Amino acid sequence: MMAEDRRGVLAEIIRKRRKILKKRKQTVAAAVLVLMMGVLLFVGGRKSAAEQYEASFYDVFDTQTQVIGYASSKKQFTEQMEQIKEQFQYYNDLFDIYHDYEGINNIKTINDNAGKEPVEVDPEIIALLKLGIEMEEQTDGNVNIAMGSVLSIWHDYREAGINDPKQAKLPEMKELQAAAEHTDIHGIVIDEKASTVYLKDPEMSLDVGSIGKGYAVQKVAEYAKEELGVTSMLFSVGGNVCAIGGHPDGTPWRIGIQNPDVDSDQAYLQKVSVQDVSVVTSGNYQRYYEVDGKRYCHIINPQTLLPADTFSSVTVITPDSGIADALSTTLFNMSLEEGMQFVKEQDQVEAMWVSEDGTIAYSDGFEAYLTEN
């Protein structure tokens, strides 16, 4: 795809998402948090009438969820959190590829019926899959939700290697290549009128890990703002962070981007000051296993069918968390030169790359977010 075409496609995707938000009278807002996947939050801001509260849980998307928000009382915050947690659970169940849930047709249900029959699903699944298809085209295949057959092989080998490091090994390339024959994203048949999804290839399976969590974070933030009246809240679900507004006094959130070298005395590499954007980090330092002393992360390059090994982490700043999720994976799979050019062609997308040797690179506009405070 030509550069101008790619720019136009992503711009159109973002415009569509914004149109939906405008209809709902919502403002996309995001900032980054901490912990498991890549950032440290510096809570700041001057005093206000609202008090700051925090909550965390570990029930969704196989990672820790943290929420920092301002509310008039602990009771109000607790009530908000109950509904927010329900929303996160809702998306977790819909996008799950491993478990069945009573009364729910989810991504696993679609996979189980590949080559058999269409599956009636929640409209949110269709919206997610349409975004995935658009992002596959936009990124020239560097992110592909139809890669489940390949990703499941790496998942099984990684889990086995973690459980028994002495017996850890890599899958054979011929096994990966055979699975890759069943990753054609055009084999996903969506019928919006009937609200069904059908996989034409019986050996195909979906894995929405590259966009599902970011999409869910975005949707929950929209729900919190529209339905609960939240005006100042920060979500962190692994490396996917989204903020509603800033601090009540209007000051932005200050974030420290985590050092992927977890053994270093330097906990974070940079601080950024952000408001009304999403910041998503993909890294090789959380989900990985080692074979003969070499680390193999969970991010698989669709072109090579092997774990990406150029970067330790990639952080993307852009308005929409779902798109940021997809783009952080995309840039992880590209060379630095390709990634720099790709970002330059996009509107309202900035990135930071940390190479395996610790070298840091920024897109042209990223440094505008940096702060020393």
Question: What is the tens place of the pLDDT at every residue in 175-200?
Answer: 999 999 999 999 999 999 999 999 99
Average pLDDT value for residue range 34-39: 40
Would 334 be classed as within a structural domain? yes
| Residue 6 pLDDT greater than 80, yes or no | no
Parallel, antiparallel or unpaired: strands 360-362 and 39-42: unpaired
Would 123 be classed as within a structural domain? no
Number of domains within the chain: 1
pTM value is 0.87
Which residue type, as a one-letter code, is found at position 40? Answer: L
Average pLDDT value for residue range 26-49: 44
| Residue 67 pLDDT greater than 70, yes or no | yes
Would 156 be classed as within a structural domain? no
Question: What strands, in cross-sheet order, belong to the sheet with 39-42?
Answer: 39-42, 253-258, 268-274
Which domain CATH number covers 88?
A: 3.10.520.10
Q: What is the C-alpha separation between 280 and 213, in angstroms, rounded?
A: 10
Domain extent, residue 334, equals 3-100+209-369
Average pLDDT value for residue range 80-104: 97
Residue 265 has a pLDDT of: 84
Burial of 4 (0-12, 13-18, 19+ CB in 10 A): exposed
Listed range (2-16, 258-272, 327-341) with the worst mean pLDDT: 2-16
Would 281 be classed as within a structural domain? yes
Indicate the pLDDT class of residue 20, thresholds 50, 70 and 90.
very low
Among candidate residues 175, 187, 231, 220, the one with its CA nearest the CA of residue 66: 220
Residue 48 has a pLDDT of: 56
Residue 244 has a pLDDT of: 87
Does 272 or 98 have the greater pLDDT score?
98
Would 125 be classed as within a structural domain? no
Average pLDDT value for residue range 56-61: 93
Q: What is the C-alpha separation between 281 and 305, in angstroms, rounded?
A: 21
CB 236 within 8 A of CB 279: no
Would 115 be classed as within a structural domain? no
Percent of the chain with pLDDT over 70: 87
Would 272 be classed as within a structural domain? yes
Indicate the pLDDT class of residue 212, thresholds 50, 70 and 90.
very high
Would 202 be classed as within a structural domain? no
Q: What is the C-alpha separation between 290 and 297, in angstroms, rounded?
A: 9
